[in-house]
């Protein structure tokens, strides 16, 4: 799960919003999922105080920071995270300048850095399939709220639990039928035994 919190000092909507300098697009199974506009410094990690929050356990609480250095250029700094930050598959050890279409990976979460809105240009991206991640965009200070449907339902019970409950229900129904047949068909041994056991 990835959540984006847009920082905005002015609570009131403005007629002229500043255009994002760049975009960070979440990649899920090699496809574009959600794009987060970058309008300044953005911190990334598991902690709720970050601008981009992910539930990926391989990501540190305060993993990295994206900082603008001019109009369309950002640098990324890893904060000594346990699993590191990778740009185009290379582990970075110092602040690194991002280029258009750079792939950024934190744990099992992959983003694409672009300097133009997603979908306006061809963005080459090929990556091995990762585990599904549900993404949620939360513009807490804007009037538009976008929520994506979960890609993987984490709240569904495991299939073995459903099958086990169904098996118990079938056994209970069979016992009930056997008991009723035993009672109504001259109180056979099975019916009497079940009646004694359940009663």
**In whole angstroms, what separates CA 149 from the centre of its chain?**
10
Statement: residue 145 has pLDDT above 60 = no
Cα angle, residue 140 at apex, residues 96 and 34 outer, rounded to 5°: 55
From the list 27, 28, 26, 30, the residue with the least C-alpha distance to 4 is 26
pTM check: above 0.85: no
Predicted confidence (pLDDT) per residue in 68-125, tens digit: 988 778 999 999 999 999 999 999 999 999 999 999 999 999 999 998 877 665 444 4
Predicted confidence (pLDDT) per residue in 6-19, tens digit: 544 444 444 446 67
Q: What is the mean pLDDT of residues 148-173?
A: 73
CATH number of the structural domain 2-138: 2.60.200.20
How far apart (Å, rounded) are the C-alpha atoms in residues 150 and 153? Answer: 6
Check: CB of residue 65 under 8 Å from CB of residue 80. no
Check: CB of residue 114 under 8 Å from CB of residue 101. yes
- Helix or strand (DSSP H, E) at 52: strand 52-54
Q: What is the mean pLDDT of residues 9-37?
A: 72
Q: What is the mean pLDDT of residues 150-158?
A: 54
- Give domain limits for the chain: 2-138, 159-198
CA atoms within 13 A on the CB side of 61: 3
Statement: residue 190 has pLDDT above 70 = no
How far apart (Å, rounded) are the C-alpha atoms in residues 77 and 45? Answer: 12
């Amino acid at each position: 799960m990835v959540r984006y919190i847009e920082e905005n000092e002015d609570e009131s909507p403005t007629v002229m919003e500043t255009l994002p300098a760049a975009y960070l697009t979440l990649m899920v199974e090699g496809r574009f999922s959600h794009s987060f506009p970058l309008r300044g410094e953005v911190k990334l990690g598991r902690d709720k105080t970050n601008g981009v929050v992910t539930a990926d356990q391989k990501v540190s609480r305060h993993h990295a920071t994206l900082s603008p250095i001019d109009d369309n250029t950002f640098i990324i700094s890893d904060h000594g995270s346990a699993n590191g930050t990778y740009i185009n598959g290379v582990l970075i050890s110092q602040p690194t300048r991002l280029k258009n279409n750079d792939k950024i990976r934190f744990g099992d979460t992959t983003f694409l850095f672009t300097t133009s809105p997603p979908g306006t240009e061809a963005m080459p991206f090929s990556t091995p399939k990762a585990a599904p991640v549900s993404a949620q965009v939360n513009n807490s200070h804007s009037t538009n709220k976008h929520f994506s449907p979960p890609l993987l339902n984490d709240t569904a019970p495991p299939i073995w639990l459903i099958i086990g409950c169904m098996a118990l229900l079938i056994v209970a129904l069979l016992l009930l039928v056997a008991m009723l047949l035993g009672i109504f068909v001259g109180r056979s041994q099975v019916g009497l035994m079940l009646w004694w056991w359940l009663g």
